[in-house]
Amino acid sequence: MSQIQLNQIKSDALKAFTAAVTSQDLYNQKVQFLGKSGALTEAMKMMASLPKEEKPAFGKMVNEVKSELETAYDQAELSLKNQEINSQMLNEKLDLTLPTSSRDPGKEHPVHKVTNEIFGIMARLGYSLRTGPLIEKDYYNFEALNIPPNHPARDMQDTFFVDETHVLRTHTSPIQIHSLENEKPPLRIIGTGSVFRVDSDISHLPNFHQIEGMCVDEKVSMSDLKGTITFFVREFFGPGLKTRFRPSFFPFTEPSAEVDCSCPICKGKGCSLCKQTGWIEIGGCGLINPKVFQFAKVEYPKWQGFAFGFGVERMAIIKYGVDDIRLFPANDVRFLKQF
């Protein structure tokens, strides 16, 4: 093995490295020349047969060639890899403006939408949110609200009983009692959630939602109540909707009234939704009965108050002109998408 042969190996290798078009190609060439049985390695092995005094010089030459080839390989590899990445990026270019296959992100249920809107309006009047259990003691759902056992007023709300002393709450008014028992007046609270009644037709659901409001302060009158509800209804429905207060009866308020809004479907002419009356009842209200304060151990007449309870689905029906309340729990996407 001579220097000439060594130079030949070197120039062959350099040529092969330059000729390689892919990094895999290049690597194969490296194996050919620098690998375990590559040309340069073979040259090293031949060193054994050289006369002793020639070995150092030859060894040095082989090492120089080896390191030159390694440097040449590294450079070639770098430039080929770069080319490969660049061409891959060009070929696999992603068009991020392309519409994706459509995925339905879902939407807030109209009942929640309406509830949240109502919170927003009442929050501006200083009301804050309270909740309560769905299964209530008879005491909170009825007795503390001045509805004693066997009182005919219990028939106003057909009740699902859980056992002798517990019911599925028939209204959100028990939230009033929890608040009066646990908090100190003055109070402005808004309660909400599911309520249950044995009732089902075009305008009634066995499970629906209510919004309860309660204000307790030092001097509260019927005009405060009317002003609050009128403001609230106008903010929610817009100024075009007609409302009316009808004298009514609830054991827990005195005096009491029912709040009606004009029917959006027939515009007051009379239809099946409004039962030919032109009006849709959204709930009840009144000044808190002193007996309720007595049950909850709140001093009266130092503290006085008003309360109201509205049906959320009813409000949604009026706002959006839905003609059957049973569409809300049916959860048909085609219906829900419209809000």
Where does this chain touch ligand PHE (CB under 6 A) — which range of 78-86, 186-194, 282-290, 317-325?
282-290
Query: Least distance from C-beta 283 to ligand PHE, angstroms?
Result: 5
* Contact in structure between 174 and 141 (CB atoms under 8 Å): yes
* Contact in structure between 311 and 209 (CB atoms under 8 Å): yes
* Contact in structure between 172 and 191 (CB atoms under 8 Å): yes
Q: Is 33 or 310 the residue whose CB approaches ligand PHE more closely? A: 310
Q: Indicate which single residue of 10, 154, 169, 171 sits in contact with ligand PHE (rule: CB under 6 A).
A: 171
Q: Indicate which single residue of 173, 192, 228, 304 sits in contact with ligand PHE (rule: CB under 6 A).
A: 173
Binding of ligand PHE by 284 (CB under 6 A): yes
The DSSP-derived string for 43-104 is: HHHHGGGS-GGGHHHHHHHHHHHHHHHHHHHHHHHHHHHHHHHHHHHHHT---TTSPPPP--
Query: Least distance from C-beta 97 to ligand PHE, angstroms?
Result: 53
* Contact in structure between 314 and 259 (CB atoms under 8 Å): no
* Contact in structure between 269 and 238 (CB atoms under 8 Å): no
Query: Least distance from C-beta 176 to ligand PHE, angstroms?
Result: 7
Where does this chain touch ligand PHE (CB under 6 A) — which range of 51-59, 73-81, 105-113, 305-313?
305-313
| Interacting positions 78-137 with ligand PHE (CB under 6 A) | none
Binding of ligand PHE by 285 (CB under 6 A): yes
Binding of ligand PHE by 286 (CB under 6 A): yes
Query: Least distance from C-beta 286 to ligand PHE, angstroms?
Result: 5
Q: Is 43 or 220 the residue whose CB approaches ligand PHE more closely? A: 220
Query: Least distance from C-beta 203 to ligand PHE, angstroms?
Result: 14
* Contact in structure between 20 and 76 (CB atoms under 8 Å): yes
Query: Least distance from C-beta 270 to ligand PHE, angstroms?
Result: 24
Where does this chain touch ligand PHE (CB under 6 A) — which range of 3-11, 216-224, 279-287, 317-325?
279-287
Query: Least distance from C-beta 276 to ligand PHE, angstroms?
Result: 22
Q: Is 38 or 251 the residue whose CB approaches ligand PHE more closely? A: 251
Where does this chain touch ligand PHE (CB under 6 A) — which range of 40-48, 120-128, 220-228, 281-289?
281-289
CA–CA distance, 162 with 208 (Å, rounded to integer): 18
Which residue reads 């209200």 in tokens? Answer: 285
Alpha-carbon torsion 315, 320, 324, 330, what sign? negative
243-250 and 253-262: which strand pairing? antiparallel
CA–CA distance, 207 with 161 (Å, rounded to integer): 14
Query: Least distance from C-beta 141 to ligand PHE, angstroms?
Result: 10
**Helix/strand/coil for 157:** coil
Binding of ligand PHE by 250 (CB under 6 A): yes
CA–CA distance, 3 with 65 (Å, rounded to integer): 11
Query: Least distance from C-beta 237 to ligand PHE, angstroms?
Result: 19
Q: Is 76 or 307 the residue whose CB approaches ligand PHE more closely? A: 307
Compute how many residues bind ligand PHE; rule: CB under 6 A: 11
Written in H, E and C, the secondary structure of 29-50 is HHHHHHCCCCHHHHHHHHHHHC
Q: How far is CA 230 from CA 117, 224, 270, 312, in A?
A: 16, 10, 23, 17
Q: Indicate which single residue of 233, 280, 307, 316 sits in contact with ligand PHE (rule: CB under 6 A).
A: 307
List, in sequence order, every beta strand (DSSP E) within the chain. 128-130, 135-137, 166-168, 187-196, 207-217, 243-250, 253-262, 279-288, 304-311
Residues within the interface to ligand PHE (CB under 6 A): 171, 173, 250, 253, 283-286, 307-309
